[in-house]
Amino acid sequence: MTEKTPRRAHLIAGGFPPGSSAGHDHDYARLRLLELLAEQEVPAFVANDFADVEKWLPMSRLLITYVAGPYPDAAQCRAMQSWMEQGGRWLGLHGVSGGRAERVEGLRQRRTVKTEHHALLGSYFVTHPPICKIHVDVHAGGDQRLTRGLGASFDVEDEPYFIELQDPASVRIVLTADYGPHVTSTAIGTLYPRDTSLLPDGRTRVLGYTRDVGAGGVTYFALGHCHNPAIRASRTVDPTDTTPLTFRGSWESDAFQTLLRNAIAWGVDAS
């Protein structure tokens, strides 16, 4: 990527298998992201997965991914890394820290398989307990371009992600949360031997960070779950689940909108 590359983005939003919602309203997220790009007069290419990502990156300054299942393979990761090293910026949202999952004998849940894209993104999805209210702390020292216009903290309702940082020394933390002792997951101790998402204080987890990759970089925010009635109807009924059939969560938060606007500017206006 050069300074002459147009202010253009490539947006990937979709689930796996192809055509599946994979538990998320990708149409809604895609529309909202395109609206935010349009606000800043940033045209966009659009895809459902990473199948031809190397074709669009040279014509883009910013890659935005909101996916549940699709992930770049080793060759695509190399193309993305080369593009970032030359100045490209990647904004990863929510489920992009997941990817391929494997069956575990004797358990219904599946375990996320760690692949090349986790190393490139900088984080690996472990699990998430049910949707709850989250008090998010903002770290202004992480990157003021991303936190501009935010206060010291904000509250949202979202999936409380447990993510494992892959190279903690390389990241600048932007968002954290202490979910409290009531937010637990049966995946810890079964699918995963221990909770590798906890920071050294034993309470706090990272929800957002940024890291340099050559002349470019990557920013990841774990917030952003959304679903609609059709998606919820395909799930096994849980009588204790009080989550609305239509859920927008962080997308309806002014703070999350500010984060996304800042991240788009970070991506397309970087020198």
Q: Domain for residue 4, yes or no?
A: no
The rounded distance, in Å, linking the Cα atoms of 238 and 207 is 27
Give residue 1's identity as a one-letter amino acid code.
M
The rounded distance, in Å, linking the Cα atoms of 46 and 69 is 17
Q: pLDDT digit of tens for each residue in the chain (271 aa)? A: 556 788 999 999 999 999 899 999 999 999 999 999 999 999 999 999 999 999 999 999 999 999 999 999 999 999 999 999 999 999 999 999 999 988 998 888 889 999 999 999 999 999 999 999 999 999 988 789 999 999 999 999 999 999 999 999 999 999 999 999 999 999 999 999 999 999 999 999 999 999 999 999 999 999 999 999 988 876 665 666 678 889 999 999 999 999 999 999 999 996 4
Residue 43 is predicted with a pLDDT of: 98
Residue with tokens 């810890």: 188
Residue 139 is predicted with a pLDDT of: 95
Name the pTM for this structure: 0.95
State the pairing for strand pair 216-221/89-93: parallel
Q: Domain for residue 226, yes or no?
A: yes
Residue 223 is predicted with a pLDDT of: 98
The rounded distance, in Å, linking the Cα atoms of 134 and 241 is 17
Region for 110 from its dihedrals, namely left if φ exceeds 0, alpha if ψ lies in -120 to 50, beta otherwise: beta
Residue with tokens 């202004």: 140
Residue 108 is predicted with a pLDDT of: 85
Residue 271 is predicted with a pLDDT of: 47
Is residue 29 packed enough to be buried (19+ CB in 10 Å), middle (13-18) or exposed (0-12)? buried
Q: Domain for residue 1, yes or no?
A: no
Residue 140 is predicted with a pLDDT of: 80
Using CA atoms of 106, 107, 108, 111 in order, give the dihedral in degrees to the nearest 10.
Answer: -130
Q: Which of 229, 219, 192, 5 is closest to 102 using CA atoms? A: 192
Q: Domain for residue 140, yes or no?
A: yes
Q: Which of 201, 190, 229, 180 is closest to 25 using CA atoms? A: 229
Q: Domain for residue 141, yes or no?
A: yes
The rounded distance, in Å, linking the Cα atoms of 63 and 57 is 7
Contact present, 143 and 220 (Cβ < 8 Å): no
Q: Domain for residue 2, yes or no?
A: no
Range of the domain at 248: 9-268
The rounded distance, in Å, linking the Cα atoms of 37 and 29 is 12
Specify the number of domains making up the chain. 1
Give residue 37's identity as a one-letter amino acid code.
L
Q: What are the DSSP calls for 140-197, one per residue? A: TTT-HHHHTT--SEEEEEE---EEEES-GGG-EEEEEE---TT---TTBTTTBSS-TT
Cis bond leading into 17, ω under 30°?
yes
Q: Domain for residue 90, yes or no?
A: yes
Q: Rounded to a whole number, what is the distance in angstroms from the first to the last CA of the chain?
A: 11
DSSP secondary structure code for residue 26 in this structure: H
CATH number of the domain to which 161 belongs: 3.40.50.880
Residue with tokens 């962080």: 250
Q: Domain for residue 132, yes or no?
A: yes
